[in-house]
Chains A and B, each alone.
Chain A
Amino acid sequence: MSKEDLSRTPLYESHRELGARMVPYAHYEMPVQYQGIIDEHKATRSSAGIFDVSHMAQFRVAGAGARDFLQGVLTNEIGRIDDVGSAQYTLMLNEEGGILDDLIVYNTGFEYLIIANAANHEKDFEWLDDHKPDDVELVDESERTALIALQGPSMIRIMDELTDEDYVLPERFNLNEAIIDGRIPVLVARTGYTGEDGVELVTRAEDAKDLWNVLLSFPEVTPVGLGARDTLRLEMGYPLYGDDMDETRDPIQARLGWVCPADKTDYIGADAVRKAREEGSDEVLVHLRVDGGIPRKGQKVLADGKFIGTIGSGSHSPTFGFGMATAYLPLAYAEPGAIVQVEIRKKLVDGLVVKPPFSL
């Protein structure tokens, strides 16, 4: 794809001004790093990072049939977010139980807001549009809105300073409305992809730059690119669509059965999930700690010299200094403590199966 075909978020100029290295990602020209992945990663863990995640897909689902529609097209129990301002992590499956996407649904009171992977933007919209009844309104809000994540232990103090004294942050996996710095209306969602306490701020595209600059004016805030976003989420064991799951994997293999309640049977793919749950999976997603090399996507995993799987996500942990990876492996190698080998170019390096999050 040529650069001319890539979209830009409302914060593109801000990234350039900050000296970001820009890369193509899911049809967008996005910052992979500003000062450096390791510093950005550590800043998020120790104080706060801000992330432009406006490339993510944002859909509004409204109308009388919205709740029933989402109940039927998503795996998690929509009744768990009947309270206004609550949210949930959920999956969208095809009929065979293959994972179309993982996403978060927010109940804003008037409607539902879906935030989904940028890489699946068109696919998700088409799937939802094809399955929705006439009494459901589906609107792609991605162009009109921007999304900025503020993540890290300093988030609470920063949000406190930027909001009225009677404003109260939503609980985790909840959202509410706020006015930032007396002028910028935002939706505040207490969600994120880093493992730190954080918020994701939904704002109008035209306010994005203003909001970004207000956040950046705090000395403890560091702009963070997609590079550190990836190492932060992988340290926690949070899956990335495309690397850790896709349409060839079901939720049980992906160890996401917890967002597919067993007593919910009325969603697309439910039969396949029930079958997978009853019969068990031949392979499951495992996490590998690798000392002595950095595992990378696509490398082979072996046991006793035999091929048993392929690395999905693979990177270096800035917090712990070792290599970390995911792979779908046969059940015999899925228990924490199992040792497999990763073929890192010409070398075989041991990988230790661990339960995420990664730790020393």
Chain B
Amino acid sequence: MPSPQEYLFTNTHEWLSQKDEFSVIGITDFAQDQLGEIVYVDLPEVGDRFKAGQPFGEVESVKSVSELLMPIDASIIEVNEELNDAPDLVNSDCYGDGWLVKVEYGDVDLSDLLDSDSYDTHCSEL
């Protein structure tokens, strides 16, 4: 299934929604499928600031742990509290209810991020 056209992607399988007042970040369908059933999500605090590429949390399946890497320099304005009780939302709806954090940021360079076609090509080569 092709990735959503309206998002930008990292080659480490996070997605970033287009900036409105804020952007939403999650992990991709490819990532959730590779991880398997997610049973624990560790997210940052509101107000935490991260540089692009820094780990901002973790998702864990029964067998493994994966770091979440921040796609851009940004600060956290909201975390998805629903995931505390229902981490499997990341599996069932990774581009919707399974979002991870909302972030705000200034003028940042988005040119390192991939569009959906480039991301899908990246995944097909893995």
Contacts and interface: CB of A to CB of B under 8 A. Distances in A.
Q: SS class of chain A's interface: helix, strand, loop or mixed?
A: mixed
B37 interface: yes
Nearest to A21: B36
Nearest to B65: A296
Contacts of B113: none
Contacts of B37: 36-39
A268 B15 CA distance: 59
B30 interface: no
Nearest to B60: A294
A33 interface: yes
Interface in A323-360: 323, 345, 347
Contacts of A32: 63
Interface string B14-56: 0000000000000000000000110110100000000000000
Given A33-B36, A36-B36, A36-B37, A318 B42 contact: no
Contacts of B81: none
Contacts of A294: 39-40, 60, 65
Nearest to A344: B42
A227 B37 CA distance: 12
B86 to A, nearest CB: 11
A58 to B, nearest CB: 27
A315 B62 contact: yes
A296 B40 CA distance: 13
A310 B36 CA distance: 26
A316 B62 contact: yes
A294 B40 CA distance: 8
Contacts of A323: 40
B94 to A, nearest CB: 15
A318 B36 CA distance: 13
B56 to A, nearest CB: 12
A39 B42 CA distance: 23
Interface in A34-55: 36-39
A293 interface: yes
A108 interface: no
Contact of B36 (A37, A345, A347): A37
Contacts of B58: 345
Given A38-B62, A231-B62, A294-B60, A316 B40 contact: yes
Contacts of A39: 37
B28 to A, nearest CB: 18
Contacts of B65: 294, 296, 345
Contacts of A293: 40, 42
A36 B92 CA distance: 13
A345 B65 CA distance: 10
Interface in A55-84: none
Contacts of B42: 293, 347
Contacts of B40: 293-294, 316, 323
A316 B39 CA distance: 8
Nearest to A23: B63
A32 B39 CA distance: 17
Interface of B: 36-37, 39-40, 42, 58, 60-63, 65
27 contacts: A32-B63, A33-B36, A36-B37, A37-B36, A37-B37, A37-B61, A37-B62, A38-B37, A38-B39, A39-B37, A227-B36, A227-B62, A227-B63, A231-B62, A293-B40, A293-B42, A294-B39, A294-B60, A294-B65, A315-B62, A315-B63, A316-B39, A316-B40, A316-B60, A316-B62, A321-B39, A345-B65
Given A231-B62, A315-B63, A318-B39, 18 more contacts: A37-B36, A37-B62, A38-B37, A38-B39, A38-B62, A39-B37, A227-B36, A227-B62, A293-B40, A294-B39, A296-B65, A315-B62, A316-B39, A316-B60, A316-B62, A318-B62, A345-B58, A345-B65
